[in-house]
Structure 1
Amino acid sequence: MPEHLDLGSLVAPEGYFLVREDAEPTPFVAAPDAGGPYEHRFTYRGSDTSIKRAAVELIASARRKVFLASFRIGDRDLLDALLAAVDRLRGGVYVITSWTEDSMRRDLASVEDVEDIDVQAQKKQFDQLTRRGIALRGHEDCHAKFLVVDDHRALVSSANLETSALADTPRKRATGENGVLLTDPAEVKRLASLFTRLWYSGCTWTALPGAEYALHRRVPVPSPVPPPRLPDGPGVIWTCRDGAGAERGVLAALHDVIARARTELLLATFSLVGIRDRPELLVEPLRRAIREHRVDVRLLVRGRNNIASHRADTAALAELGVRIYGDSDTHAKGVIADGRYGALFSANFDAEHGLFDGVEVGVRLDGHAALTEAHRYFRHAMTHADLRFASGPTQRDLDRGLGARWRRRWPYPARVPVTAADADWRSLVDAATAGPVLWEKDAEGLRLYVADVVAVLEPAARTRRRLTVHRAGTDAGVRLRGWFTERAGTGAAAQKRGFCPALLVREP
C-alpha cells in the first residue's frame, strides 16, 4: 500500500474553465463608422460602449412610435428616454417582454441568461412604465432584443436593456455584447412587421397603460400586417414559431456561414444547450468544416462552470478541434466565416430554444463594413478572454485557477504529513482514483471530500495531522455541484472552500 498519496495529480473527469494567468484586460476601441445601412455597436469591459448610446439616441429621436423588445429593462438613462418619449408622443411606446406572472414565480436563477435578478425591482420598473402610459405585453418565448423607431431606424443586439449589459459601473463590469444599428428602410420595415406580428399574434399577457403594473391574460389574434419574409442575402433574420409555422432563419444563417468557411470560423455564444443531443445543429457542420477544409474554428463562450451540461457541450466542441476562449463577461452571439460572411443575433447555441424554437432576432451582414468591425470585436474578445478551457484538469490546475467566486487556494503546505490507522488510510487511497477532491474549513475543522468518503484532518503535532475517514452522505461530485449553485457569501464556510492539491505522506 503506498505511503504517499498525491491528490494534486488526480484528474477531474469533467472539463472546467480556468483563469488565464496571462490575460491582459484591454478596452476595445471602435473604428469610425464607415456609413452604410448597417453599423456595428457593442459593449465591452473598460470601453466606451455604444449599444446604450445608440438605444437612447434612437428613442430620443422618435416622432411617432417606439417598438421595443427586451427580456429586462433596467438602465436608468434608457428608462428616462422611454418615459420622455411616451410623454412627448402622448403614447406610442410599445414594449414586449418575456417576463410574465408565470416566469416571475419561477426560480429565475435557472433561466438561461439571468443572474442575480431582483424580481421586485424589475416589477417596479414595469410598474413605472405602465403608470406613465407605455403599452406593455408579455411574450413567454421572446428572447429577442431589438428596438424600432418610426419604421425608420432600428437596433438589434444581444443585450438586455439593463445597466450591466450597457455600461461599466463602479459595482459591475460591462457585459460583452454585440449589435447592429440599421438604417436600411426595407429591413427596418420588416423588423417593425415582425414586432407587430409578435404584439398581436404572439403575446399572451398584457398590462394596461396608465394602470398599476399587473399582467392579464390575453388571447392572441391574427396580425393586421402580413408576416415578413426571411431575406435571401444580408438583412434581418429571426427564429419564430407561431400559428404561421416555424421560421428558423438564425439556424439557416448559422449553417450557411459555417459551410462557406475555408480558413477561419469565429463563433460566439453565452451558453451551449443540448448540442450533443442534436449534433446536426452545430457539431456535424463544424466537423465537416474542420475535416473537409481544415478550418480554424474558434469559440468565444461564457465560462459557466456552474452548469455541468454547458461544460460538457464545450468539451465536445474542444474534442472536435474547436479552440475555446472562455470569458467571465461575454454575452455576445454570432458567427463569422473568413471575415466575409456572418451574422450577429440574440440566439444562443441552444437546441431547445435559440436555434430551434422561441423568438430570436439577428442581422446577416455579408460584405458590409459592420461585419469587419464585428470580426475585429470577436478577435479582440478572444485575445483578451480571461478564462481557458481544460478538458481534464488536475487538482493542482483546479486549485490554482478554477473560475468560481467561492474557490480559495489551498492554505496549507503542499506536503502534509499525516498519521492514520490502516483501515482509514486504505479507504482514502481506494477512493482517490480521480477528482474532484474538495477541502472545506470551518469552525468544526478541516475536511477533505474524496468520492464517497470524508477525511477529517486534525492537528496532531506541530507539522502533522491525524487523519480519520468516514463515509460521506454526499459524493464529492454532487457536493461540488451544490457549491456552484450556492449564492456567494452564504453559509459559514462559503469563503473557505476549494480543491485539495496536497501530497499526503503517511508517517508512523
Structure 2
Amino acid sequence: MPDTDAPEPFLDAPDTDREYRHRFTYRGSATSIRRTAIELIEGARHKIFLASFRIGDRELLDALFDAVHRLRGGVYVVTSWTEQSLKRDLSSLEDVDDVDVQAQKKRFDELTRRGIALRGHEGCHAKFLVVDDSLALVSSANLETSALVDTERKRATGENGVLIGDPTEVQRLARFFTRLWFAGCTWAALPGAEYALHRRTPAPSPVTVPPLADGPGVLWTYDGDDGDGSHRERGILTALHDVIGRARRELLLATFSLVGIRDRPDLLLDPLRRAMTAHDLDVRLLVRARNNVPEHRADTAALAELGVTIHGDSDTHAKGVIADGRYGALFSANFDAVHGMFSGVEVGTRLDGRPALTEARRYFRHAMENADLSFVPAPTQRELDQRLGARWRRRWPHGVRLTVSAADADWQRLVDAAATGPVLWEEDEELRLYVGDLVVTLRPGRPARFRLTVAESRSDAATRMRNWYAERPGAGSARKKRGCCPALLTRLH
C-alpha cells in the first residue's frame, strides 16, 4: 500500500576506509554505483572482468567500448543470458519485470561487434566488476540505467554495494571470475562478430580459488564444476545464518523477492524464529512490493506473522543482512530457496566491523523509513482502492454508496459471489464490476442510479487481477480505467 510522505534523498558520507567503501543508488540522490563502475573501467590498464545479469546503461557501454579499444581487447563479460533465455519469455524471472528481449540482444550484439569477449553462464545472477586485479565493485545492481539512475522517471532503483580495495580479496574475486569463465560458462559469443551464442564445452579452471574468508571479504554462492566433480559453495547462506545468530537488539534484512521460504523454513523462518525467541529483537525487512506474485505476498505474510516489521518499497532491489550495526553482508542473492542461496552463482561482501557496514546500515534504515509502501495483511476494499501498489490501479470515481435496481436472481447471485474478494471495477463505454466468477454490468437507470445485470465471467476476479498485474506498460488494455471497488451497493425494491 502506498505511503503518502515524499522520500528524502540519501546523502552519502566521505570514505574513511580504502579497503571497503560503501556504494549505492537511491531515488532523488547523487548515486555512486554508476560513477564508480565507469571510473573503474576508464582507469583500467590491463583487463576488465564484468559479470551482470543484464547490461544496458549507455554511458557505461561507451566506457567499455573505449576500454576494449584502448586495451586492444582485455574486456571479458559473463552474463546469465543464453540462447534459450533470449528466446523464452523472461517475465517470471527475478528483476526482469519489464525487460525488452530484443533491446537486450541488440546491446549484446554491439558488445561483441566492438570486440568484447562474452560468455553465458545459465546460473549467474552475480553483479560485479574487477579491474586489473586491483579494484572490484560488488553490488546488487545490474549494469543498466534503471538500476543506476533513471533519467526518464527521475528516480533510481535502490541498490547497495561495496568498492573493494583489499588486494587479497580482489584477487580472490578475479580468480572466481576466471573459474566461471572457463569451468562454468556453457555459451560463448565470438568477439568482432555479430552476436550469436554458441555452445561451448566447459574446461577445467586454470586457477584455484582460495576458500571463503572468515572475516570481512568476498563471499559467494557457487553451483558448478571445476572439472573434478560438481560441488556447491554456499557462503552467502552461511553468512546470512551467522549474522542472524549474532543479533541481540536489531536485525535488518533486505531483498527484492521472497521465493519458497515457507517451503524451506531452514532458509530464513527457522533461523529468525530461534533468534527472536532467544533475544528481544527488532527485526525489519526492506522488500519490493511485488503484489503481482501471490507466493511473494504469502512469504511476506509469513514473516509478518513471525513478528518481522515489513517495509515495502516500489523501487528497492538491494539485498543484505546487518545485525546490531556490527555484523553484516551485502550481496546479489535474494532470499530465494530456488536460486541464489542454495544454488546458482551470486556474489557478496562480508563487512563486519568496517565503516562501510555502518554506511550500509544507515542506507537500509533510511530506505525503510522512506519506503513508499506499507504491508497490509488483510486489506479492505477501501484500502485496496486508496493504496494498492499497482500501476493499473485508479481510484473509484463513483462515490462510496450506489443505489441499484436488479432482478431478484441477479441480486442474489451478486450477494453470494461478494462473500469472497476482491471486487474489481473497469470502465470504458460501460461500467463493470468483477465479483467472484461474475461480471456485473452497471448502466444508468431510474429511480436507482444504476440498473444492474449479472453474467458469468470468463475468469474469476482473482485471476483477472493477476492478469492485470502481468500486462506490460503501454498495452492498450493497460490504459483502461481499472481498480478495486469500495462502494456499498444498495438495492431499490
TM-score scaled to structure 2, two decimals? 0.97
Distance 2:181 2:272 in 1: 36
Q: How does 1:43-54 map to 2 (within 5 A)?
A: 43-54=25-36
CA contact (8 A) 1:394 1:435 kept: no
Distance 1:255 1:336 in 2: 11
| Highest RCO, 1 vs 2 (Cα 8 Å, sep ≥ 6) | 1
Cα offsets for 1:287-327 (capped at 9, x unmatched) = 11222212111000001111111111111111111100000
CA contact (8 A) 2:125 2:344 kept: yes
Matched, 1:136 2:122: no
Q: What letter is aligned with 1:143?
A: H
Shift, 1:421, TM fit? 1.8
- 2:6 aligned counterpart, secondary structure: coil
Give the counterpart of 1:215 among 186, 193, 197. 197
Shift, 1:453, TM fit? 1.8
Equivalent residue number for residue 272 of structure 1: 258
Equivalent residue number for residue 391 of structure 1: 377
Segment of structure 1 superposing worse, 254-263 or 450-459: 450-459
Q: How does 1:92-171 map to 2 (within 5 A)?
A: 92-171=74-153
Give the counterpart of 2:3 among 10, 20, 31. 20
Give the counterpart of 1:36 among 13, 18, 34. 18
Equivalent residue number for residue 73 of structure 1: 55
- 2:91 aligned counterpart, secondary structure: helix
Equivalent residue number for residue 226 of structure 1: 208
Matched, 1:375 2:358: no
- 1:413 aligned counterpart, secondary structure: coil
CA contact (8 A) 1:442 1:493 kept: no
Q: How does 1:56-71 map to 2 (within 5 A)?
A: 56-71=38-53
Give the counterpart of 1:249 among 206, 231, 235. 235
Give the counterpart of 1:460 among 431, 438, 445. 445
- 1:155 aligned counterpart, secondary structure: strand
Equivalent residue number for residue 343 of structure 2: 357
When residues 410 and 465 of structure 1 are mapped into structure 2, their CA distance, relative to the original with a 3 A threshold, is: same
- 1:19 aligned counterpart, secondary structure: coil
RMSD: 1.2
Cα offsets for 1:122-164 (capped at 9, x unmatched) = 2222222212211111111100000001111100000000111
Distance 1:385 1:148 in 2: 32
Equivalent residue number for residue 506 of structure 1: 491
Q: How does 1:386-465 map to 2 (within 5 A)?
A: 386-443=372-429, 445-461=430-446, 464-465=449-450
CA contact (8 A) 1:440 1:448 kept: yes
Equivalent residue number for residue 187 of structure 2: 205
Distance 1:464 1:403 in 2: 30
- 1:165 aligned counterpart, secondary structure: helix
Distance 1:180 1:100 in 2: 28
Shift, 1:204, TM fit? 0.3
Shift, 1:486, TM fit? 1.2
Distance 1:491 1:185 in 2: 53
Segment of structure 1 superposing worse, 413-422 or 346-355: 413-422
CA contact (8 A) 1:46 1:168 kept: no
Q: What letter is aligned with 2:109?
A: D
Cα offsets for 1:359-415 (capped at 9, x unmatched) = 000000000000000000000000000000110000000001111111111110211
Shift, 1:426, TM fit? 1.4
CA contact (8 A) 1:258 1:265 kept: yes
Give the counterpart of 2:67 among 65, 82, 85. 85
Segment of structure 1 superposing worse, 177-186 or 80-89: 80-89
- 2:375 aligned counterpart, secondary structure: strand
Shift, 1:463, TM fit? 5.3
Q: How does 1:273-312 map to 2 (within 5 A)?
A: 273-312=259-298
CA contact (8 A) 2:428 2:481 kept: yes
Distance 1:341 1:230 in 2: 16
Q: What letter is aligned with 2:409?
A: A
Q: Name structure 1 gaps, 5 residues minimum.
A: 1-17
- 1:241 aligned counterpart, secondary structure: strand
Equivalent residue number for residue 14 of structure 1: none
- 1:396 aligned counterpart, secondary structure: helix
Distance 2:355 2:463 in 1: 48
Cα offsets for 1:319-374 (capped at 9, x unmatched) = 11110000011000000000000000000010000111100000000000000000
CA contact (8 A) 1:458 1:467 kept: yes
Distance 1:459 1:382 in 2: 46
Distance 2:153 2:81 in 1: 25
Shift, 1:462, TM fit? 6.6
**Aligned sequence identity (%):** 71
Aligned residues: 489
Equivalent residue number for residue 12 of structure 1: none
Shift, 1:24, TM fit? 2.3
Q: Name structure 2 gaps, 5 residues minimum.
A: none
